[in-house]
Amino acid sequence: MILVTGGTGLVGSHLLYDLARSGEKIRALRRRNSHVEQVRKVFSYYSVEAERLFAKIEWVEGELLDYQSVLDVMEGTDEVYHCAAFVSFNKRDRLEVLRNNIEGTANMVNAALEQKVRKLGFVSSIAALGRPLSGEDITEELIWRPSRHTSAYSESKFKSEMEVWRGIAEGLNAVIINPSVIFGPGMWNRGSGLFFKNIWKGLRYYTLGVNGYVDVRDVVLALTSLMKTEISGERFIVSSENLSVQDIFGMIARHLGKAPPSRYASQAMMSFVQKLDALKSALFFTAPALPKETLHSAHQQVRYSNHKIRQALGMEFIPMEKSVMETARQFMKDVQR
């Protein structure tokens, strides 16, 4: 039996599809207010047998912050994929982000040790990696250090990793992956899905930031492949290509048949907009659309090395041009439905 957390997210839904297709016996932990219909939709993107595959999943309601709930759902499982995370860059959510991600992961680690699972795979993030001082490519060896630009999410993923490393020190067989910005179909109102949605609506601005990007199918392939190996106590950056925001936006626009964003959003311009947004958020008690952390990351130029995962698995990544093309094709199908 395999347990998956975060199954209603982009990575989790694609992971569930991969496991169901390969005939694995699957249990998925879900929160009471989560929507499994999104998972069914993702399955339908890839198979005419989506309903049969979806029916293989044993859905169990539970909360990661409830240790007994986690312990119970993990009973009888051999492998655990921990994909769940609370993602928010709203300052008002800071404590919730930290508590959910760190304490939730601690509960998963403790339960895995108590239930003596064979192996745990943890989906972390490049947000848990450090930032180089001299501009070289970021590797798994870089040490995370907080700064005034550090988001609660980044802090939570780093400290979540520390819980996994603590579990490894206590005898847990575990592996960690750090995906870059993940592209894939289905979640159009969050994450990279918003890139497609906003460019479809006519987004006009770009920045000169550089980041790593990867297809969700490669994230799943890297994770499941590592779980089948004897590799333990290691973490791996999972990233296909380093691209500028201008390049990735232009790529999306081209495959959506839209004009590419053509106006450069300088740091000064974005800072002014961010202050107006913060004022609006304070006056109307709404979540900010442009948090300071987003402003900073939009202009950062960071590059990631995928050398370690390539060496470990002999992995070849889906080119981002192909990933964007296929994701854009599915977006347009969904828009037209």
What are the boundaries of each domain within the chain? 2-186+211-240+303-319
What is the mean pLDDT of the segment spanning 100-110?
96
* Contact call for residues 229 and 289 (beta carbons, < 8 A): no
What is the mean pLDDT of the segment spanning 57-63?
93
Q: Is 270 left (phi over 0), alpha (psi -120 to 50) or beta?
A: alpha
pLDDT at 130: 79
Distance CA 57, CA 80 (A): 14
pLDDT at 149: 73
* Contact call for residues 155 and 98 (beta carbons, < 8 A): yes
**Token code pair at residue 308:** 């370690």
Beta strands in 33-152 (DSSP E): 57-61, 79-82, 119-123
pLDDT at 27 over 50: yes
Contacts of 314 (CB under 8 A, 6+ apart): none
pLDDT at 100: 93
pLDDT at 283 over 80: no
What is the mean pLDDT of the segment spanning 263-275?
61
pLDDT at 89: 76
- With pLDDT > 90 as the criterion, what percentage of the chain qualifies? 69
pLDDT at 268: 63
pLDDT at 239: 97
pLDDT at 294 over 60: no
pLDDT at 275: 52
pLDDT at 295: 53
Q: How many CA within 13 A on the CB side of residue 222? A: 34
pLDDT at 249: 94
What is the mean pLDDT of the segment spanning 76-102?
90
Most confident range (mean pLDDT) of 16-30, 260-274, 285-299 is 16-30
Q: 288: pLDDT confidence band, cut at 50, 70 and 90?
A: low
pLDDT at 13 over 60: yes
pLDDT at 284: 47
The CATH architecture that domain 2-186+211-240+303-319 belongs to is 3-Layer(aba) Sandwich (3.40)
pLDDT at 299: 65
Beta strands in 24-69 (DSSP E): 26-30, 57-61
Q: 196: pLDDT confidence band, cut at 50, 70 and 90?
A: very high
Please report which helix (H) or strand (E) contains residue 270, including its range: helix 267-284
Beta strands in the chain (DSSP E): 2-5, 26-30, 57-61, 79-82, 119-123, 174-179, 181-183, 205-206, 210-215, 234-238, 241-244, 263-264
**Token code pair at residue 170:** 């206590």
pLDDT at 280: 47
What is the mean pLDDT of the segment spanning 174-188?
95
Distance CA 106, CA 156 (A): 12
pLDDT at 277 over 50: no
Q: 282: pLDDT confidence band, cut at 50, 70 and 90?
A: very low
The rounded mean pLDDT for the chain is: 89
Nearest residue to 18 via CA among 221, 193, 238? 221
Nearest residue to 60 via CA among 119, 103, 104, 7? 7
